[in-house]
């Protein structure tokens, strides 16, 4: 994702984190974070970040020795207690698609698997490294026959209504996956089991855990933190 290690990507990330933080801090002083001056700045940031995004650029693989030690990769959920998958959990896939589906984990295991070991970046400034495996969102789109008019993808969670919507190029990036495994084993509950969104191209709050729905849509629908004033595009 960078031409030179520690060079362009660091400068760009600092810039994008700055715009995200500014939007989030500004939202603390407004009950209408997407209107007025803040709304204007958010739309500018969205266009600016989208223009910088390169759907062909891949984040570098980290060496195995860079893995964050067990238990040290931060956990996050919005519920008061760690969410647990409801009985009979399945992933509902719909929206502008030819064939809506309800998929079990076994169904997802049958799709082509993607593995990578990359660095995670949080809007709070920390980073960590884990190995993830799962199925690309682009493979899911093929399975259900997503309509070309579906330029956005919405991801919904059973964690107290957490959700986020993404631009199509980011959602269909080859390193954007629905992860059902972490560090060589099943995805643990503290990191979003049974299924979570993971990607090299977004900040952490865009990566919805505890997935229950994926919808291919013609318009964006916001997000849990985005509705509270955080940057919508949130690229790295």
What CATH number does domain 8-228 carry, 3.90.420.10, 3.30.365.10, 3.40.50.300, 3.40.800.10?
Answer: 3.90.420.10
CA distance 37 to 39: 5
Mean pLDDT of 84-89: 96
Residue 104 burial (CB count, 10 A): 13
The pTM for the full model equals 0.81
Parallel, antiparallel or unpaired: strands 196-199 and 185-186? unpaired
Q: Are the C-beta atoms of 221 and 165 separated by less than 8 Å?
A: yes
Domain boundaries, the chain: 8-228
Within 100-156, residue ranges assigned H as helices are 105-109, 137-144
> Percent of the chain scored above 70 by pLDDT?
78
Mean pLDDT of 81-103: 97
Q: What is the pLDDT of residues 159-181, one digit of tens each?
A: 999 999 999 999 999 999 999 99
Question: What was the pLDDT predicted at 70?
Answer: 86
Mean pLDDT of 21-36: 42
Residue 47 pLDDT class (50, 70, 90 cuts): low
CA distance 234 to 236: 7
More confident residue, 90 or 12: 90
């Amino acid at each position: 994702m960078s031409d030179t290690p520690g060079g362009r990507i660091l400068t760009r990330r600092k810039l994008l984190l700055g715009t995200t933080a500014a939007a989030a801090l500004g939202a603390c002083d407004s009950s209408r974070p997407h209107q007025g001056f803040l709304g204007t700045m958010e739309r500018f940031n969205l266009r600016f970040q989208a223009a910088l995004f390169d759907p062909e650029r891949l984040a570098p693989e980290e060496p195995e020795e860079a893995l964050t030690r067990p238990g040290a990769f931060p956990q996050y959920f919005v519920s008061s207690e760690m969410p647990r998958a409801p009985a009979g959990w399945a992933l509902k896939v719909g929206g502008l698609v030819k064939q809506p589906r309800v998929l079990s984990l076994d169904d997802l295991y049958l799709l082509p698997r993607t593995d990578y070991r990359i660095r995670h970046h949080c809007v709070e400034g920390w980073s960590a490294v884990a190995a993830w495996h799962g199925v690309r969102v682009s493979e899911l789109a093929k399975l259900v026959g997503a309509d070309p008019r579906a330029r956005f993808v919405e991801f919904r969670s059973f964690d107290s209504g957490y959700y986020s919507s993404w631009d199509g190029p980011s959602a269909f990036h080859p390193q954007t996956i629905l992860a059902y495994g972490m560090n060589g084993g099943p995805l643990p509950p503290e990191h979003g089991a049974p299924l979570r969104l993971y990607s090299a191209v977004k900040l952490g709050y865009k990566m919805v855990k505890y997935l229950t729905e994926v919808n291919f849509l013609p318009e964006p629908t916001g997000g849990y933190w985005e509705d509270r004033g955080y940057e919508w595009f949130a690229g790295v």
